[in-house]
């Protein structure tokens, strides 16, 4: 079951959470923090710590550790509070979150 | 139909409690926020004993049996549903997806389990630093190894079990131990690449924090159950008596939510809480409660002794009207 993260195709198994698929594919940074832009990449994997918030199909602040994968999902690294979009080509955000 | 008993959490304690209340004739609904029932039995793979006197078995087999027993007794197990709040009179806010509803059972058994204790040190927020439970979930449930070289901060039984899990998954544990936070530093740009311990530097992909767990008693706290402090039970624990009854009328607790312990203790406490809750509803006799107390065994008795005579640490600011 394939979806994309920041426009890059990611393979996954049905039923697993988005975070598991991303970590299996070698992804490390799921979001950057609003104030200093420091990276976060998931911590608790049970939906508590909010380290893994990403933008999924345009909806920000989705806990990808407890959200199952679905074919064709558009997952994006969340910058700050998620109003902003990550620009994979430049490796930075497209504006100030 | 409104269930007479709601059980929050479908881990070993919750499923055992459900079998007991449903067996006594109470309509029983078990709710769990995760997508599948089982709690820790889902992400632990090393053999676990259901009671001190029986041989250890696969956690998945034990889970299947506990669930089958609860369902056979007539309990309904509903996953993907959060018991989000508990108001006065055991009025529950239940959230499933985008829908919220209200439940007002006669008895509530809180078996919400535990949360891994945090251990903050420099760099501990970097991607690649995971809790022990997160690591077990990734390795054992999802079959994903988030790196090859691991460091484990912690030294108790949980850390040892984790080491075996990592080795079984083909990973390598390059450092394991405890050190005061000022002597620990995780380094890396967009993820951990090294853990510095004092003067030593270890190249690692993953740092696991396995310093123990604490009771996840938020739902009970919201209902007005006071907390006490027992270091041997992970810190803050809800005040419950020997039959797992809290000071809030109709509210019982069992398993890790009443202080982290073994799976066997969770199952025994779950059964005990189930029988005690049934007795409160007039569906079980005092004699049956006494029998359940004896059957619960020495670990449950030792846990009860640790919780006995605890002083409440603080008063809840919004005490429900019906709190005793």
Q: How far apart are the first and last CA of chain B?
A: 28
In this complex, do B126 and A41 lie within 8 Å of one another by their Cβ atoms?
A: yes
Number of Cβ pairs < 8 A linking chain A and chain B? 63
C-beta of residue B140 within 8 angstroms of C-beta of residue B133: no
Residue from A91, A79, A62, A82 nearest A3 by CA: A62
- pLDDT for position A97: 39
Contact call for residues A26 and A19 (beta carbons, < 8 A): no
pLDDT tens by residue, B116-155? 999 999 999 999 999 999 999 999 999 999 999 999 999 8
Chain B: closest CA distance from residue A37 (Å): 11
- Residue B279 to residue B271: CA distance in whole angstroms: 12
Q: Do B35 and A16 touch (CB under 8 A)?
A: no
Alpha carbons B24 and B107: distance in angstroms, whole number = 13
What total number of domains does chain A contain? Answer: 1
Residues of B in contact with A6 (CB under 8 A): none
Among B153-162, B165-174, B237-246, B315-324, the range scoring the smallest mean pLDDT is: B315-324
**What is the spatial distance between Cα B235 and Cα B142, in angstroms, rounded to a whole number?**
30
**Is pLDDT larger for residue B234 or for residue B72?**
B72
**In angstroms, rounded to a whole number, what is the distance separating the alpha carbons of residues A65 and A82?**
17
Would residue A15 count as lying in a domain? yes
Q: What's the angle, vertex CA A9, arms to CA A4 and CA A13, rounded to 5?
A: 85
Residues of chain A with C-beta less than 8 angstroms from the C-beta of B127: 28-30, 39-42
pTM of the predicted model over 0.80: yes
Give how far the C-alpha of residue B312 lies from the chain's centroid of Cα atoms, to the nearest Å: 21
| Parent domain of A55 | 2-81
A88 falls within a domain = no
| CATH number of the domain where residue A71 is located | 3.10.20.440
- Pair A41, A32: CB distance under 8 Å: no
Q: Is residue A8 part of a domain?
A: yes
Question: In the predicted model, what is the mean pLDDT of residues B55-75?
Answer: 98
**For B281, what's the count of Cα atoms within 13 Å in the CB-facing half-sphere?**
26
d(CA B5, CA B108): 6
Homologous superfamily of the B5-115+213-307 domain (CATH): FAD/NAD(P)-binding domain (3.50.50.60)
Structure-block tokens of residue B113: 């389990």
* Whether pLDDT at A85 is above 60: no
Cα of B26 to nearest chain A Cα, Å = 31
Question: Which strand (E) or helix (H) includes residue B306?
Answer: helix B298-307
Instruction: Compute the nearest-CA separation of A20 from chain B (Å).
Output: 6
CA–CA dist A88, A90 (Å, integer) = 5
The CB density around residue B169, as the number of other CB atoms within 10 Å, is 18
Q: What is the ipTM of this complex?
A: 0.88
Give residue-wise pLDDT tens across range B159-185. 899 999 999 999 999 999 999 999 999
- pLDDT number for residue A81: 85
d(CA B258, CA B52): 19
- Burial code (b: 16+ CB inside 10 Å, e: under 16) for B215-245 equals bbbebbbbbbbbbbebeebbbbbbbbebbbb
Q: B144 CB near a chain A CB, below 8 Å?
A: yes
Rounded to an integer, the average pLDDT of B313-319 is: 61
Residue A90 lies in a domain: no
CA A37 vs. chain centroid, Å, equals: 15
Say whether pLDDT at B323 is over 80: no
Q: Establish if A92 belongs to a structural domain.
A: no
Q: Is residue A87 part of a domain?
A: no
In this predicted structure, which of A73-82, A84-93, B28-37, B61-70 has the lowest mean pLDDT? A84-93
Residues of A in contact with B138 (CB under 8 A): 20, 23, 45
pLDDT in tens, A9-37: 999 999 999 999 999 999 999 999 988 89
pLDDT band at A84 (very low <50, low <70, confident <90, very high): low
- Determine the pLDDT at residue A93: 56
Cβ–Cβ below 8 Å for B146 and A68: no
Quickly name the fold that domain B118-209 has.
FAD/NAD(P)-binding domain (3.50.50)
Q: How many CA atoms lie within 13 A of B178 on its CB side?
A: 9
- Mutation site for B-interface testing, chosen from A12, A19, A21, A45 by largest number of B Cβ within 10 Å: A45
Q: Does A20 touch chain B (CB under 8 A)?
A: yes
Kindly report the average pLDDT of chain B as a whole number.
94
Which among B125, B131, B138 is the nearest to A23, CB-wise?
Answer: B138
A52 has a chain B CB within 8 A of its CB = no
Residue ranges matching CATH 3.50.50.60 in chain B:
5-115+213-307, 118-209
Query: Does B245 touch chain A if contact means CB atoms closer than 8 Å?
Result: no
Q: Stretch B71-85: mean pLDDT, rounded? A: 97
Query: Is residue B41 within 8 Å of B12, Cβ to Cβ?
Result: yes
Measured between beta carbons, the chain B residues lying within 8 angstroms of A21 are 144
Q: Which of these ranges, A48-52, B75-79, B310-314, has the smallest mean pLDDT?
A: B310-314
Task: Identify the helix (H) or strand (E) that includes residue B102.
Answer: strand B99-103
- Phi (first) and psi of residue B138, to 5 degrees: -65, -50
Tell me how close the Cα of B174 comes to any Cα of chain A, in angstroms.
20
Q: Which residue of A has its CA nearest to B139?
A: A20
């Amino acid at each position: 079951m394939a979806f994309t993260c920041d426009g890059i195709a990611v393979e996954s198994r049905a039923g697993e959470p988005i975070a598991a698929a991303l970590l299996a594919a070698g992804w490390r940074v799921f979001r950057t923090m609003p104030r200093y832009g420091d990276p976060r990449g998931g911590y608790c994997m049970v939906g508590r710590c909010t380290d893994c918030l990403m933008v999924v199909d345009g909806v920000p602040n989705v806990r990808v550790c407890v959200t199952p994968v679905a074919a064709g999902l558009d997952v994006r690294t969340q910058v700050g509070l998620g109003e902003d979009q990550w620009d994979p080509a430049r490796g930075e955000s497209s504006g100030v979150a | 139909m409104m269930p007479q008993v709601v059980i929050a959490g479908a881990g070993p304690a919750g499923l055992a409690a459900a079998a007991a209340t449903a067996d006594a004739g109470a309509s029983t609904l078990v709710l769990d926020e995760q997508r599948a029932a089982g709690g820790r039995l889902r992400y632990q793979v090393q053999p676990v004993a259901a009671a001190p006197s029986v041989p250890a078995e696969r956690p998945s087999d034990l889970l299947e049996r506990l669930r089958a027993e609860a369902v056979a007794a007539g309990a309904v197990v509903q996953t993907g549903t959060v018991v989000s709040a508990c108001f006065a009179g055991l009025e529950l806010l239940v959230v499933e997806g985008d829908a919220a509803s209200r439940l007002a059972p006669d008895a509530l058994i809180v078996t919400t389990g535990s949360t891994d204790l945090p251990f903050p040190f420099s760099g501990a927020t970097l991607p690649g630093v995971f809790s022990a439970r997160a690591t077990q979930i990734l390795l054992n449930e999802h079959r994903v190894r988030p790196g090859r070289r691991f460091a484990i901060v912690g030294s108790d039984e949980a850390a040892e079990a984790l080491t075996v899990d990592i080795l079984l998954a083909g990973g390598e544990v390059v450092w394991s131990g405890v050190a005061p936070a000022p002597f620990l530093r995780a380094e890396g740009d967009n993820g951990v690449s090294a853990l510095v311990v004092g003067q030593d530097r270890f190249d690692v992909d993953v740092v696991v924090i396995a310093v123990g767990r604490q009771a996840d008693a938020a739902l009970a706290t919201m209902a007005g159950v006071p907390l006490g402090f027992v270091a041997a039970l992970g810190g803050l624990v809800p005040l419950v008596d020997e039959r797992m009854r809290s000071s809030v009328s109709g509210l019982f607790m069992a398993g890790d939510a009443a202080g982290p312990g073994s799976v066997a203790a969770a199952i025994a406490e779950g059964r005990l809480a189930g029988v005690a809750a049934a007795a409160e509803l007039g569906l079980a006799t005092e004699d049956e409660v006494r029998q359940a107390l004896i059957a619960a065994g020495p670990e449950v008795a030792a846990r009860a002794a640790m919780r006995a005579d605890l002083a409440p640490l603080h008063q809840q600011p919004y005490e429900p009207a019906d709190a005793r």
